[in-house]
Amino acid sequence: MTTTIFDSPLGQVRVTGDNNGVSRISCTDVSSDEPVSTALPEPVEQAVAQLMDYFGGSRQTFDFLLNPAGTPFQQSVWKALLDVPYGTTLSYLALSRRLGDEKAIRAVAAANGKNPLWIVVPCHRIIGSDGSLTGYAGGLWRKKWLLEHEQGGSGQLSLF
């Protein structure tokens, strides 16, 4: 596995992967002394370029190879997250219904919280049924920033 780090408006972004795909994307406020590779596998190189385009406002979708590790249930939730379009939000309940079991809302929320591919698998687009910005591993301020960024910086979020 190869890791690289770059600066973004939300902190340092860490991208990890190999030729089989990107397995982890995360963000932190803490500067890292972690060694980074200069020879990047193509999926990692593509991820960095596409994420930089996203932050620059010129990209709304991603098309590099993904390879996250997770249970079959987590994988199904993460796949469903890929169907939530840029600039929109969906409630945890609505996501549970899309997956065929509204009673699984807690399990869906837990899988959402374990998403290893920050931004690309858009868990930030999942909100509370009342429109609240509930739960986000990267911090609610990042979730708010991402949603506003996708709304064109208008500061007005739409539930659906």
pLDDT tens by residue, 56-82 = 999 999 999 999 999 999 999 999 999
Which of 86-106 are b and which e, b meaning 16 or more Cβ less than 10 Å from the residue's Cβ? eeebbbbebbbebbeeeebbe
Alpha-carbon torsion (117, 119, 123, 128), positive or negative: positive
Select which of 25, 66, 95, 123 is catalytic.
Answer: 123
- Fold agreement (2-56, 72-150): no
> Which is higher by pLDDT, 17 or 139?
17
Helix (H) or strand (E) holding 90: strand 90-91
- Domain 2-56 top-level CATH class: alpha beta
Q: What is the pLDDT of residues 12-52, one digit of tens each?
A: 999 999 999 999 999 988 776 666 667 899 999 999 999 99
Q: For residue 16, what are the β-bridge partners?
A: 3, 24
**Domain residue ranges of the chain, discontinuous segments joined by +:** 2-56, 72-150
Placement of tokens 């340092």 in the chain: 12
The CATH fold assigned to 72-150 is Arc Repressor Mutant, subunit A (1.10.10)
pLDDT value of residue 39? 85
pTM of the predicted structure, to 2 decimals: 0.89
Active site annotation includes 123: yes
